[in-house]
Amino acid sequence: MSGGLCSEAEHRLFSVIFSKYNQYIRPVENVSDPVMVQFEVSMSQLVKVDEVNQIMETNLWLRHIWNDYKLRWDPKQFGGVEFIRVPSNRIWKPDIVLYNNAVGDFQVDDKTKALLRYNGDVTWIPPAIFKSSCKIDVTYFPFDYQNCTMKFGSWTYDKAKIDLVMIGSTINLKDFWESGEWMIIDAPGYKHDIKYNCCEEVYTDITYSLYIRRLPLFYTINMIIPCLLISFLTVLVFYLPSDCGEKVTLCISVLLS
């Protein structure tokens, strides 16, 4: 198909499927059925771990896949077009948020586009930079291990309306940029069905546990080794003769260094 015909077919397809589409209505043929949303977190960067404010900052891609029966079409009627990309704010989307977000917006930006397939499958992968709350214990600094969690779930829909299905069993680290300060040991994910005190309904969440280990090379070279050398030099003062007048001067010089 030539570029002009393809563009015309996509224009006609877009006009047809969105002529009566309402992005505020759940895409289910039976109101009692839940929307099955496949969910995956891909981490591209561990930006920062703030020990003082107990915050972990991460750069993520959030993959959402679900089926919208109102976005189906027959490719034969539209020049063989099987995929189109549309602004995500034109379609219904699951309101998946990071529950333990520390600052900023809880929900991702909807300015990215979604990929629609002729059978109604929708794939939406928005990027997000999250700052999540994390309880950090620095007792064994700089040889410490930390366990930070990220809890994702629908903010308004209970399990009867949206059911999450985890893609894989861990955070996707295929495109992860190694950090110079932290190493990821493991990043498993777990699905939970929880009934909160506020509500009678059961809500589904997917929680990822990020087990990280601090890389101590920087602190070893710049803190531990200099402190050991200073302590060693201080001990050497006691080997100087008792009548040596430079003992006090040497001690003060070592401390000031």
Could you tell me if 202 and 232 lie in one domain?
Answer: no
Domain containing residue 35: CATH number = 2.70.170.10
Give strand pairing partners of 51: none
**How buried is residue 165: exposed, middle or buried, by Cβ count under 10 Å (0-12/13-18/19+)?**
middle
Could you tell me if 86 and 189 lie in one domain?
Answer: yes
Structure tokens at 167: 């893609």
Could you tell me if 70 and 96 lie in one domain?
Answer: yes
Structure tokens at 192: 């939970």
Average pLDDT over every residue of 129-152: 91
Could you tell me if 21 and 148 lie in one domain?
Answer: yes
* H/E run at residue 182: strand 182-186
Alpha helix stretches (DSSP H) within the chain? 3-17, 217-219, 225-236, 247-256
- Residue 20 pLDDT greater than 70, yes or no: yes
Residues 6+ apart with CB under 8 A from 179: 45, 46, 215
Could you tell me if 78 and 117 lie in one domain?
Answer: yes
Could you tell me if 153 and 251 lie in one domain?
Answer: no
Could you tell me if 85 and 23 lie in one domain?
Answer: yes
Query: What pLDDT digit, counting tens, does each position of 48-72 carry?
Result: 999 999 999 999 999 999 999 999 9
Could you tell me if 99 and 40 lie in one domain?
Answer: yes
Could you tell me if 205 and 226 lie in one domain?
Answer: no
Q: Which residue has the higher pLDDT, 63 or 4?
A: 63
Could you tell me if 26 and 140 lie in one domain?
Answer: yes
- Residue 215 pLDDT greater than 90, yes or no: no
Q: Of 67, 66, 80, whose CA–CA distance to 13 is shortest?
A: 80
In the chain, the number of structural domains is: 2
Could you tell me if 234 and 122 lie in one domain?
Answer: no
Query: What pLDDT digit, counting tens, does each position of 159-203 carry?
Result: 999 999 999 999 999 999 988 889 999 999 999 998 888 778 899
Domain containing 237 equals 222-256
Record the pTM: 0.83
Could you tell me if 205 and 245 lie in one domain?
Answer: no
pLDDT at 244: 64
Q: Which residue has the higher pLDDT, 193 or 242?
A: 193
